[in-house]
């Protein structure tokens, strides 16, 4: 009888000791008793010393006798170490569902290599050759509509022919449908989809197929990265700049960065793809960590859109009107040509703020430091942070005065109301992320847009990512400067990326498109860089400002959030936690109230730790947290490489 350590895929767990009479290898999937049930676990160590306490015994092997490769185990260890997460929490990402139950068939993809992909242009062929021959991650930077997808489709086909598996990662679930359709048309079989909408039973089938290698191609959200692929050949991270690749609960990983790590561990190719790569990725290409390849022309000589600035300081809008005269005329002209219009505003609901003009009351969430947003469609107020809802007051709750409440600013519902009044005979649809999460909703909308059944599409950021509509020629951005406010390090970068992404939807085929930006700060550097196609100048200026401030990519940062039920006690706990910080050369800012000070009824303080790139930040933070005394009534969360300081 020997003692082995097994890793149970449960958040917060560490390897546990069990006894067994069977010889196992590291990586074997075994069934063990855990608490009051039997669960699939990973053999982590063998021939361990026998402890003095009585141990439970391993029940046996997993029903399909699977073994995870060493590369997957290494990924668990490296991710756990980097993000200061328990091994069991990372293992839960690798085995998110129990694959042992019967009867579950193994998902199988049958494919034929008789399918021929569309020929690539000479420029695309050169990019493909570099992608397949590079020993480091490839960063493919191409203007919207330049054919980046077709390039990595060709690369995937070549990897499939050599018996390898392929993973295509997308930042949004709703992006999947168009690329699934294109993939199926090109390859002759359907890829496997992995995201939060896939049922548990289906995930069990898929997971078995990934482990055994019968699943060859996965298209998925960020969680697809950690799955235990048997023979991974290529990982494509599409829209690599997108902040949706960052996980904001549990293990706080960035799937793009972990894709690069996995590529190094697996020895597989990494393709980071974007029209507007992140500044960190562009910097990594400058220091030769990545190889940058640029596509500067649209596919089939499609023409880049014209860009017009509407200075809203010079516009005279009537009451409850948000669209300028020039925009309204452009919409009218586009509709007369039987072409489509996209109106972008990154605000859900009808109005983002309700104020009382008599006493200054603001409709705020009782549980968060946020305003309640009026949603006319559901006839209620909603908090977009904790999800709480309330009825719309008929009079001011503070001063009780009637007819004193005013709606400030527009959301997409309010823009849709104005558009419908202006163009009542046109088919107008408004969509946001929460609406698109309904099963089938986004698929129906995409098909309707592709078939020309929608004349005017109004939406939030969900409609900016990767979609291709042949009849869409006019894109309007309402409040183009909304992203400039706030203390986010990446605010300017994200706004620039967003403008490029939404503008890239216009005129992607033979008809030249038009992008119109409504802004109150037309002289802002982001607006200027976008309009004048000065992306490199913007990149250099942004990079220099971060170098001077010693911020990423010239430094590494971690955000520590201390959360508690009482405001004053949480503040004192944050100060006490700071006192345990080991002496070093790192810069520590805070503690200070988080930008979202109150969230879901709890109070939050932030500490920001800034270190040079060669400093062992994880070792420092682990020493700090291990030495601190943290009562169970408080939560301390450490976010390595935070994407938001909310």
Task: Give the residue ranges of the annotated binding site for Zn(2+).
Answer: 356, 359, 365, 368, 383, 386, 396, 399
* CA distances to 8, 15, 162 from 12, in Å: 10, 10, 39
Any idea which residue has 């037309």 for tokens? 522
What is the C-alpha to C-alpha distance for residues 637 and 83, in angstroms, rounded to an integer?
Answer: 11
Note the residue count of the chain.
646
Residues placed in the known binding site: 356, 359, 365, 368, 383, 386, 396, 399
Alpha-carbon torsion angle 539, 544, 546, 549, nearest 10: -160
CA geometry: angle 193, 140, 295, nearest 5 deg: 120
Burial of residue 534 (CB within 10 Å: 0-12, 13-18, 19+) is middle
- Tokens (6 digits) for 353: 């703020």
User: Smallest Cα–Cα separation from 606: which of 559, 568, 555, 641?
Assistant: 559
Burial of residue 258 (CB within 10 Å: 0-12, 13-18, 19+) is buried
- Tokens (6 digits) for 150: 């077709």
H helix intervals, 34-101: 70-83, 87-94
Cis (ω within 30 of 0) for the bond into 105?
Answer: no
What is the C-alpha to C-alpha distance for residues 349 and 340, in angstroms, rounded to an integer?
Answer: 23
User: Smallest Cα–Cα separation from 417: which of 375, 445, 384, 387?
Assistant: 375
54: Cα separation from own chain's centroid? 45
């Amino acid at each position: 009888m020997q003692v082995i350590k097994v890793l149970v895929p449960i958040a917060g767990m560490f390897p546990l000791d069990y006894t067994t009479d069977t010889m196992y290898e590291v990586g074997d999937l075994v069934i063990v008793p855990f608490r009051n049930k039997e669960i699939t676990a990973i053999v982590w160590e063998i021939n361990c010393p026998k402890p003095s306490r009585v141990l439970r015994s391993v029940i046996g092997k997993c029903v399909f006798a699977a073994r995870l490769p060493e590369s997957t185990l290494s990924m668990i260890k490296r991710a756990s170490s980097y993000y200061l997460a328990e091994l069991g929490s990372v293992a839960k990402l690798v085995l998110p569902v129990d694959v042992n139950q019967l009867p579950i068939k193994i998902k199988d993809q049958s494919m034929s290599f008789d399918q021929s992909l569309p020929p690539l242009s000479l420029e695309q062929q050169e990019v493909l050759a570099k992608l397949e021959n590079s020993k480091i991650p490839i960063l493919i930077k191409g203007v919207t509509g330049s054919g980046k997808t077709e390039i990595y489709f060709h690369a995937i086909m070549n990897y499939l022919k050599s018996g390898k598996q392929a993973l295509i990662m997308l930042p949004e679930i709703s992006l999947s449908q168009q690329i699934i359709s294109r993939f199926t048309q090109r390859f002759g079989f359907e890829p496997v989809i992995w995201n939060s909408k896939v049922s548990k039973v289906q995930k069990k089938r898929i997971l078995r197929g990934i482990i055994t290698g019968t699943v060859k191609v996965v298209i998925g959200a960020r969680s697809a990265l950690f799955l235990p692929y048997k023979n991974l050949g290529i990982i494509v991270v599409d829209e690599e700049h997108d902040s949706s690749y960052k996980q904001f609960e549990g293990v706080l990983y960035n799937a793009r960065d972990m894709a690069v790590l996995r590529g190094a561990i697996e020895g597989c190719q990494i393709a980071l793809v974007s029209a507007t790569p992140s500044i960190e990725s562009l910097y990594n290409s400058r220091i030769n960590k990545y190889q940058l390849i640029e596509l500067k022309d649209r596919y089939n000589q499609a023409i880049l859109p014209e860009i017009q600035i509407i200075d809203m300081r010079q516009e005279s809008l009537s009451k409850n009107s948000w669209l300028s005269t020039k925009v309204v005329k452009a919409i009218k002209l586009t509709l007369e040509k039987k072409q489509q219009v996209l109106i972008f505003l990154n605000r859900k609901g009808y109005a983002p703020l309700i104020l009382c003009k008599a006493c200054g009351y603001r409709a705020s969430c009782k549980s968060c430091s946020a305003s309640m947003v009026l949603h006319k469609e559901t006839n209620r107020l909603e908090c977009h942070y904790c999800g709480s809802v309330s009825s719309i007051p008929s009079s001011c709750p503070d001063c009780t005065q009637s007819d004193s409440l005013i709606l400030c600013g527009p959301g997409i519902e309010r823009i849709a109301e104005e558009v419908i009044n202006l163009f009542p005979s046109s088919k107008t649809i408004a969509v946001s992320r929460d609406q698109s999460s309904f099963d089938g909703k986004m698929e129906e909308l995409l098909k309707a847009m592709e078939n020309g059944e929608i004349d005017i599409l109004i939406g939030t950021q969900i409609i900016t990512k990767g979609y291709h509509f042949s009849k869409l020629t006019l894109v309007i951005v309402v409040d183009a400067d909304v992203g400039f406010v706030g203390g986010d390090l990446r605010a300017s970068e994200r706004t620039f990326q967003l403008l490029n992404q939404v503008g890239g939807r216009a005129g992607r085929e033979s008809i030249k498109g038009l992008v119109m930006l409504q802004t109150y700060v037309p002289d802002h550097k982001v607006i200027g860089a976008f309009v004048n196609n000065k992306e490199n100048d913007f990149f250099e200026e942004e990079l220099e400002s971060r170098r001077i401030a010693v911020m990423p990519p010239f430094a590494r940062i971690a955000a520590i959030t201390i959360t508690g039920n009482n405001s004053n006690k949480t503040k004192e706990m944050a100060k006490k936690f700071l006192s345990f910080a080991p002496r070093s050369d790192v810069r520590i800012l805070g503690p200070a109230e988080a930008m979202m000070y109150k969230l879901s009824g709890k109070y939050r303080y932030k500490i920001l730790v800034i270190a040079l790139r060669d400093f062992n930040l994880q070792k420092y933070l682990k020493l700090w947290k291990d030495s601190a005394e943290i009562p169970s009534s408080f939560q301390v969360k450490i976010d390595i490489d935070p994407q938001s300081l909310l």
